Every structure is written in C-alpha cells, then in structure tokens.
C-alpha cells in the first residue's frame, strides 16, 4: 500500500456544503440554490482575505475570525446581496443546518474500509473545532477518524502553508506516506505546493485549475480514493 495515512478536507469533501439549499429553499422559496452557491463562495473569499491580510507566521492574522463566524457573516452578506429579509429564526435555522451538513452517501463505507486496513485517518479543515465536532458526530464519523485537525490554533486558513504543516504536527509520517484528499481544486493545489500527495475528488466534472501541478490522483467521488490506495471496495 503506497500510503499509511489519509487526510480529508471536510467541507465539500466529506460534507455537502450545498445541502443547505433545501432549508434555504423552504425559508426563501425560489432562492435556495442561489443562496447556497453564493454563501459558499463568499465564505471562501473571506478566508482568503483574512489569511492574506497582515499574516504573521507565529501569530496568524490579526484579522482572524473563526470559520463559524465567517460562515455567519457570509450568510448575512449573501442575504443582503439577494435582497432577502431575514428573521433571527431564519438565520439560526440556516446556521444550524450548516453545523450538521449532510455527508455524501458513500463516505461512511469508504471510511470504514480504509480503517479496516489499519491506515491513520484524519480531517484537516478550515472549520472551527466546535463546527467540526458537530459535523463529524452528526454524520456518524466519530469512530472513523483518528484526528480532527482545525486551523483555528494558527489563525490562518488554507492555503497558507502553516495549515498543511499541521498534518505532520499531528501525524508523525513522511509527507510521501500521507495522502491528502479534497474536492476543492484550490485546496488540492495548495497541498501539492506544500509537498503532500493529493487526490482530487472531482464531483462536478470540472477542469482542474490552470495552475500546476495537477493532483497526483483524481476520481468522481470518495470511492475513487480506494483505487488510489489499492484497496478493494467491500
């Protein structure tokens, strides 16, 4: 087996960030899909803005806010942008859904299969510890992950190299024995730049970024990771 550990991105890779559109559609009929899409884009935009602004390798960005707070502020912006009036109850309903995002349907079987092979499993995420704890337990993944690593302690978001460095701070293995899995092309690229081997889960059939290098492996869903690991699916 070429790898001894598999590290997963959380949002978009294990948890479906666009599953919030079902609640959004109930609250704002006709706007659910647009809100879910805009919300995710603004959330990532804010992480990049913060990480690029006055970053300190030791202290992080002085503008840092937790991913939970960024998620809430992104929601407020998008509701204003779409000219959707909100109540506190609607706000909390959407944030509550984000805390318990739906996992992709194949995830649990894939994680169980990987764990049966004795590999170390982990999450590396922009998510705050409380967000990740809620999502992991809601999805039934708590016993399938050896580490849940948040960037919160370094006050910098991916793709800062300090974020990817957290992997080896928690898993004592050489980089070439760790597979990093993400459905976000920018995340796979950042991990590759850091020196990790990467598997891009291309759920939407998109072209990869025009920047290099390309991911080491790719596939349409999380089951493709088993092929990369040379594991027969059960």
What is the SS3 assignment for 198?
A: strand
CB distance 157 to 52 below 8 Å: no
Round to whole Å and give the CA distance between 232 and 219.
15
- For 55, other C-beta atoms within 10 Å of its C-beta total 18
Q: Using only C-alpha atoms, what is the Rg of the chain?
A: 17
Check if the beta carbon of residue 15 is closer than 8 Å to that of residue 8.
no
Nearest to 179 by CA among 132, 119, 116, 128: 119
Q: Could you confirm whether 9 is annotated as catalytic?
A: yes
Catalytic residue among 9, 16, 152, 187: 9
Using CA atoms, how far apart are residues 157 and 178, in angstroms rounded to an integer? 20
CB neighbour burial string for 143-172, b if at least 16 within 10 angstroms, e if fewer: ebbeebbbbbebbbbbbbebbbebbbeebe
The residues assigned a catalytic role are: 9
């Amino acid at each position: 087996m070429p790898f001894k550990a598999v590290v997963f991105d959380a949002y978009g890779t294990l948890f479906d960030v666009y599953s919030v559109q079902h609640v959004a559609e109930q609250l704002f009929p006709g706007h659910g899909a647009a809100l879910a899409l805009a919300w995710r884009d603004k959330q990532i935009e804010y992480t990049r803005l913060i990480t690029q602004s006055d970053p300190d390798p030791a202290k992080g960005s002085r503008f840092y806010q937790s991913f939970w707070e960024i998620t809430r502020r992104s929601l407020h912006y998008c509701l204003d942008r779409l000219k959707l009036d909100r109540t506190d109850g609607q706000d909390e309903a959407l944030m509550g859904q984000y805390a318990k995002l739906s996992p992709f349907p194949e995830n649990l079987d894939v994680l169980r299969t990987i764990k049966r092979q004795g590999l170390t499993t982990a999450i590396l995420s922009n998510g705050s510890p409380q967000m990740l704890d809620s999502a992991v337990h809601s999805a039934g993944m708590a016993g399938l992950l050896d580490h849940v690593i948040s960037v919160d302690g370094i006050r910098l978001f991916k793709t800062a190299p300090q974020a990817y460095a957290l992997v080896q701070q928690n898993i004592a293995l050489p980089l070439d024995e760790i597979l990093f899995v993400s459905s976000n092309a920018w995340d796979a690229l950042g991990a590759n730049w850091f020196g990790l081997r990467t598997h891009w889960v291309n759920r939407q059939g998109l072209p990869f970024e025009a920047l290099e290098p390309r991911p080491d492996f790719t596939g349409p869903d999380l089951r493709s990771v088993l092929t990369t690991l040379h594991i027969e699916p059960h």
